[in-house]
Structure 1
Amino acid sequence: MTFKQQLELTIRLSIPAVVAQISYIVMQYIDASMVGSLGAEASASIGLVSTSTWLFWGVCVASATGFSVQVAHHIGAKEFGQARAVLRQSFVATTIFSLFLTVIGVLVSTPLPVWLGGDVAIQHDASSYFLIFILFLPILQLNFLAGGMLRCSGNMHVPSMLNVLMCIMDVVFNFFLIYPSRELEIGNISVFVPGAGLGVEGAALGTGLAEMLVAIMMTWYLCRCSKELALVGRPGSFFLTSKVLIKSFKIGVPMCVEHIVICGAQILTTVIVAPLGIFAIAANSFAITAESLCYMPGYGIADAATTLIGQSLGAGRKDLTRSFARITVATGMLVMGVMDGVMYWAAPLIIGAMTPDAEILSLGVMALRIEAFAEPMFAAAIVAYGVFIGTGDTLMPSIMNFVSIWAVRLSLASCLAPSMGLKGVWLAMCIELCFRGMIFLIRLEKGKWIKIT
């Protein structure tokens, strides 16, 4: 393939993946905006447990990736029967795993807000939001698995379109579940709108229902319509084999540990922020959601990188593997650099759409504008990680993330927060992301990861 062909393929795979990632963040943005209208306490209750939901979310992604990377390798080698065998086993293994996580989540849902240092006024809503999220976890796991399998087969469009649909359904469900029944004035006409009035719980339930419907549609398409992976009409065993499980453990366990470590650090950051007050918790949560609009395109390009690298390596094309790695990382840095400028300029508009509170707005804008300086290097870390996943190389990148976050971010945040407040926490994050991007770029250029098969 020429450089132009490689670039075109990268863009063609990246755009649908970016749309999918942005739609997911838009869904979070909508949740935050709709709940934000209920007041600072409602926003803070979600913000308090958001890092904990990411912990469970990330572990589910890691378990699905342990199987989807194997599928990418088999498809690259034209071994479609073996790819479908891995898919069958993945359904069984990830279902068992997600049910196990659900039990753990239910057990910790009540004491969690207390452990995180949340104010008594927000503990009940925070606990309820987390519990509803956890009960939908097996559905979310299925969503991640089906979407990951389709993307690794080269099909970016169907997962992207369904994720956009999920975003739309989330808005509709939230509209009726969060707010009570009310009269809406449309011009000179008054319209009665029924509502459940569930508040924070309604936001969690609306998101869960949207995820459930999309998971059903995504799985149906994967099993019936996928050219490479459809299982309907192709009988086979769902019995778990040691070969597939061992390989999935080698890929997924380091990712799983890394997500636990990173989210553990994020939870500890929440503990650092919690004593700063309800306004700081809400502003921190809103800023994280708003920042996602900037960095989620990087994750979309990383998804494309995983597919391109996995299939190139499966086909035995190490020259193409290195070339796609450089192209995807450079593309991610360029895209997030542009988004970075938009985020800095539009910070007051972005945060203002989520909250009418002046103090939360001021703190949120400050956090976003500090973080804007780190986004290109953050892109380098995100996409390079996607490259390494495509080869099945997850252990060393996980160690790098661990060292960067725990040794740099948390140590700086704990030192700066007492004197600088929320500003110190986000300054520490900015410095750490620049450091992380640098070490990932160094490893990418050394090229030793290409030898891992």
Structure 2
Amino acid sequence: MKGTLSKRNTKYKLTNLKGDSSHKVIFWTMVMLAWPTIVEYFLETIVQYVDTAMVGQVSAEASAVVGLSTSLNWLVNSPLFAVGIGFLAMVAKATGDDDPKAIKRAADQAILLVIGLSVAEGILAIAMSPFIPKWMGADKLIWQDASIYFAVICMPMIFRASIIIFGSLLRATGDTKTPLKINLLVNGTNVLLNLLFIYPSRTIYIVDQPVKIWGLGLGTFGAGLATAIAFVIGGGLMWRAFSQNASLHQGLKHIKFEKDTMIKGLKISLPIALNKTVTSLGYVVFSGLVSSMGTFIFAAHTIAIVAESIFYVPGYGMQAATSTMIGYTLGKRDWQLYMRTVLLNVMFIAVLMMPASLLLYKFAVPIMHFFTQEAAVIALGAKVLRYVAFSEPFFGVSIILEGVYNGLGKTTYPFAVETTSMWLIRIVGVIIILHLPGATLTKVWLYMIADNLVKTILFGWGIFHFKNRMRLFEKALATHS
């Protein structure tokens, strides 16, 4: 069995698409690129599950403290993810072009951006942390704890940037296993430190035998501290892996600013950054609107958001693999390989997400019960999870289609779609609901579902409409020429 798997890993590497573009080879290449990232995101989500559950055992207010920072973290990470995706597209295309010098030039500019972005974002996030809970309309009871938690997890920003950007570049070269291993260690460290930092010293019973467990009892501050330490470990290890990758790095003394490469990378990254920033800002506003409905409703909302996240992990796990493969087809200037890759990835994620949707619908109550013992929170959270379950396959397809645009470097259209859909459907819709009698969390989530469906339709039209298909590929080629 081991020998068979080894042969399959060798046969279905990214560069082997050059010699064989059959559906079978495309499919297994996608699987070999995607599975480590899917496992990585899955385990990250499991840790988020455990984090939320561990904090939820303290109180509903503690859940709200951590939940308030969830959408803020998306906002903070947006520019970092954008740079990672933009330079992933460049490295993947350079791999298809067989241009090792272009790969190293792109990697050098990514290093400069890791340093510059992390310093700027870290200072800004920490400076704003005392004011954010109030701006988001959170209950005064959690203002101080939420501010401290957010500041603590933003302190090691350069390590967070290293994990995201260097991890993307490693994946662009086809190395998806190293980021998986590093994130496994990071997530495990986070959980262990949570056990030590969140709860006070206590006695548990294992087979009727008392076992003393030491703890600091730091609550949400302890959860933030555990996360920050895990970021430091992960960032250090990701830099080491990046610097040891011969395709990407040639030593710090060789790094120099390359204007043309930097501009090309930023042209791809900027629309993604604007997209993710505006969308994440929308999530912040969205969370603020829901938080104004009360602590228990907000707790149900934030827990349900976390609970849902594990069910679209396959989509985000496949997105990086899709972008890498699309960038490679662009480098080879192979239209047929491009279209086969798009169609297979979209069909695969749609089929994969259908049973996930059924599981989410069937086990909504037990899933909510995992996070909290509050009966009202469980009932409300399970109700909205059953609503959103039906839209999961469409959401998964939209994630893959966005990955196609990212791989092509054509990121302006997704920015327009994401921004328009988020603000006109989700935000405006919820504002209207809150100003009408009978506002409920269920009605809020219906607008969230509508937002996801509209994005899927518009992304699909941009890629599959017969007038757009060839033109999009040709424009991407012209842009990269």
TM-score calculated relative to the size of structure 2: 0.91
**Are 1:261 and 2:278 an aligned pair?**
yes
What SS does the aligned partner of 1:276 have? coil
1:352 match: 369
Q: 1:112 is matched with which residue: 132, 138, 145?
A: 132
One-letter amino acid of the structure 1 residue matched with residue 463 of structure 2: L
**Are 1:430 and 2:444 an aligned pair?**
no
Q: Quote how far apart the aligned CAs of 1:132 are.
A: 1.0
1:82 match: 102
What SS does the aligned partner of 2:363 have? helix
2:420 match: 403
What SS does the aligned partner of 1:155 have? coil
Alignment partners' CA distance in 2, 1:373 and 1:412: 20
What SS does the aligned partner of 1:353 have? helix
Matches within 5 A, 1:184-263: 184-224=204-244, 226=245, 228-231=247-250, 237-263=254-280
Contact 2:137 2:289 in 1 (8 A): no
Q: 1:5 is matched with which residue: 17, 25, 30?
A: 25
What SS does the aligned partner of 1:328 have? helix
One-letter amino acid of the structure 1 residue matched with residue 211 of structure 2: V
Contact 1:84 1:231 in 2 (8 A): yes
One-letter amino acid of the structure 2 residue matched with residue 131 of structure 1: A
Spell out structure 1 runs of 4+ moving beyond 4 A: none
One-letter amino acid of the structure 2 residue matched with residue 432 of structure 1: D
Alignment partners' CA distance in 2, 1:89 and 1:237: 12
1:283 match: 300
Give the count of matched residue pairs: 450
1:45 match: 65
TM-score calculated relative to the size of structure 1: 0.96
What SS does the aligned partner of 2:203 have? strand
Contact 2:107 2:249 in 1 (8 A): no
For residues 251-276 of structure 1, what are the alpha-carbon distances to aligned partners after superposition, in whole Å with 9 as ceiling and x for unaligned? 11111111111111111111211221
Q: Quote how far apart the aligned CAs of 1:189 are.
A: 2.5
Q: 1:295 is matched with which residue: 304, 312, 315?
A: 312
Q: Which runs of 5+ in 2 are unaligned?
A: 1-20
**Are 1:321 and 2:344 an aligned pair?**
no
Q: Quote how far apart the aligned CAs of 1:68 are.
A: 2.4
CA RMSD of aligned residues (A): 1.5
Alignment partners' CA distance in 1, 2:246 and 2:72: 37
Q: 1:389 is matched with which residue: 385, 406, 427?
A: 406
Contact 2:346 2:397 in 1 (8 A): yes
Alignment partners' CA distance in 2, 1:387 and 1:364: 33
One-letter amino acid of the structure 1 residue matched with residue 139 of structure 2: D
1:65 match: 85
What SS does the aligned partner of 2:292 have? helix
2:347 match: 330
Alignment partners' CA distance in 2, 1:10 and 1:54: 27
**Are 1:449 and 2:466 an aligned pair?**
no
Alignment partners' CA distance in 2, 1:46 and 1:275: 16
Alignment partners' CA distance in 2, 1:274 and 1:197: 26
For residues 349-408 of structure 1, what are the alpha-carbon distances to aligned partners after superposition, in whole Å with 9 as ceiling and x for unaligned? 111101111111111111111111111111121110011101111111111111111111
What SS does the aligned partner of 2:391 have? helix
For residues 65-91 of structure 1, what are the alpha-carbon distances to aligned partners after superposition, in whole Å with 9 as ceiling and x for unaligned? 222221111111111122112212211
Q: Quote how far apart the aligned CAs of 1:230 are.
A: 4.5
One-letter amino acid of the structure 2 residue matched with residue 154 of structure 1: G
What SS does the aligned partner of 1:356 have? coil
What SS does the aligned partner of 2:163 have? helix
What SS does the aligned partner of 1:327 have? helix
For residues 215-265 of structure 1, what are the alpha-carbon distances to aligned partners after superposition, in whole Å with 9 as ceiling and x for unaligned? 2222212221x3532435xx7631212111111211111111111111111
One-letter amino acid of the structure 1 residue matched with residue 402 of structure 2: Y
Alignment partners' CA distance in 1, 2:264 and 2:193: 40
| Percentage of identical aligned residues | 28
**Are 1:304 and 2:327 an aligned pair?**
no
